[in-house]
Amino acid sequence: MTGTAVASCFNYSSYASYQTSSKKTGEVLFSDSIDVNSDKVKKEESQRGSVMEEYYARKPQYKERAKERVDGGYVVLKCAGISTEDMENMSMNEFKDVMSKVIAGIPHHATRPYDEETVLISEEGWENMKKDPDYAAYVVGLLQEDRSFANPFFALGDKGSYIVQHFGASPEDYHGVGFSKIYGGTAAGARSMYNSAKAGGIETRGPQADLQPPSDYNLWEERRKAKRRKRKEQLDEEIMSQYYQKKHLNDLYEKKLYENKELARSRSVAEMIGSRSNTSHAPKLSMASGTAFYEAAFMTSDITEMF
């Protein structure tokens, strides 16, 4: 500090020393209370950053990444209306209750509506989170980051996942496991494994977690059914293709047959017209001349037979 700030600070200290020197020895001195409070503040500050600072010292290569998670966790806590001072003033039971609600309220990505997740925190983990808000923010930030990832298999009909996250005394103690809701091929087996692994932790469920596969769901049987459906679709396509080919050939045959009939009919009409025109040019005979011609032919035939 410079200028008037230094003078005022100096004068305040001198005044405080003067006032306390006139107190009775049996009373608590004001200067002593200042020393006690300052020691308490120093102690709290040293404890406050101990977990993460020790982690940074042990794992400097992960320091930048861990600080990003801490910052992200503080954003979530701020949105929940929780400050570091609030966490420090809470009892352990209150702290567990509030942090459990914050952790359970972190949403999953929109492509993970069927996921179910359980967070397990050891007693030492809870104590260190309470002692060092940075570690509490780290836990929240890691969970927020993990749940924000998209599921690349959602569009392929993925059934969702079971996830179990474990937190201990420091970030080094973290480990997690996740597996499909049809792990091993059956929904019942996956559910049983998840129930045995979660052991009463902080549970979080996606908005559509109830729409999980039925307990008798079997992946391999479903794949066989899907293969049979696909083969049937292929056969149906082949049958329809053959049908349309035959129909096309029949249409061509009927068209050719119709054209041939039309051609034959046009020829018949032409021949009839031609024969009529030829008949119109032949000499016409009257009844009398026809009779005379017939009698002449008859007379000629008789005379020939007589000789």
How large is the average pLDDT for residues 119-125?
Answer: 96
How large is the average pLDDT for residues 231-243?
Answer: 82
How large is the average pLDDT for residues 277-297?
Answer: 55
For 129, counting Cβ atoms within 10 Å of its Cβ (0-12 exposed, 13-18 middle, 19+ buried), the class is buried
Please give the pLDDT value at position 23.
33
In the predicted structure, residue 194 carries a pLDDT above the cut 80: yes
In the predicted structure, residue 304 carries a pLDDT above the cut 50: no
Scan for tokens 């052991």, then name that residue.
Answer: 199
Partnered with residue 177 across adjacent β-strands are 164
Per-residue burial over 101-110, b if 16 or more Cβ lie within 10 Å, else e, is ebbeebebee
In the predicted structure, residue 283 carries a pLDDT above the cut 80: no
For 217, counting Cβ atoms within 10 Å of its Cβ (0-12 exposed, 13-18 middle, 19+ buried), the class is middle
Between 206 and 7, where is the model more confident? 206
In the predicted structure, residue 252 carries a pLDDT above the cut 90: no
Please give the pLDDT value at position 3.
33
Please give the pLDDT value at position 115.
92
In the predicted structure, residue 224 carries a pLDDT above the cut 50: yes
Please give the pLDDT value at position 17.
31
The H-assigned helical ranges of 22-91 are 30-48, 50-58, 63-79, 84-89
How large is the average pLDDT for residues 241-261?
Answer: 82
Q: Which two tokens stand for residue 107?
A: 């949403």
Between 65 and 260, where is the model more confident? 65
Q: Output the CA–CA distances (angstroms, integers) from residue 113 to 117, 122, 147, 154, 192, in the order listed.
A: 12, 28, 11, 9, 20
Please give the pLDDT value at position 290.
54
Alpha-carbon 141 to chain mean position:
22
Say what the pTM is: 0.57
Between 260 and 165, where is the model more confident? 165
Q: Are strands 161-167 and 116-121 parallel, antiparallel or unpaired?
A: parallel
Query: How far apart, in whole angstroms, are the C-alpha atoms of residue 184 and residue 208?
Result: 22
Strand order, beta sheet including 202-205 = 175-180, 161-167, 116-121, 202-205
- Give the model's confidence band at 288: pLDDT under 50 very low, under 70 low, under 90 confident, else very high: low
How large is the average pLDDT for residues 106-118?
Answer: 92
- Give the model's confidence band at 42: pLDDT under 50 very low, under 70 low, under 90 confident, else very high: very low
72: nearest Cα among 134, 129, 150: 134
pLDDT digit string, tens, across residues 62-109: 999 999 999 999 999 999 999 999 998 999 999 999 999 999 999 999
Q: Are strands 175-180 and 116-121 parallel, antiparallel or unpaired?
A: unpaired
Q: How many residues does the chain have?
A: 307
Task: Tell me the average pLDDT of the chain.
Answer: 75
Query: How far apart, in whole angstroms, are the C-alpha atoms of residue 259 and residue 265?
Result: 10
Please give the pLDDT value at position 183.
75
Q: Do residues 140 and 76 touch, judged by C-beta distance below 8 A?
A: yes
Please give the pLDDT value at position 67.
96
The answer for residues whose C-beta is within 8 angstroms of residue 29's C-beta and 6 or more apart is: 20, 23
pLDDT digit string, tens, across residues 210-220: 776 666 666 55
Query: How far apart, in whole angstroms, are the C-alpha atoms of residue 176 and residue 178?
Result: 7
Please give the pLDDT value at position 268.
74
Scan for tokens 């009939």, then name that residue.
Answer: 261
pLDDT digit string, tens, across residues 166-179: 999 999 999 998 88
Please give the pLDDT value at position 35.
46
Q: Which range, 140-154, 220-234, 251-265, has the best average confidence (pLDDT)?
A: 140-154
In the predicted structure, residue 204 carries a pLDDT above the cut 80: yes
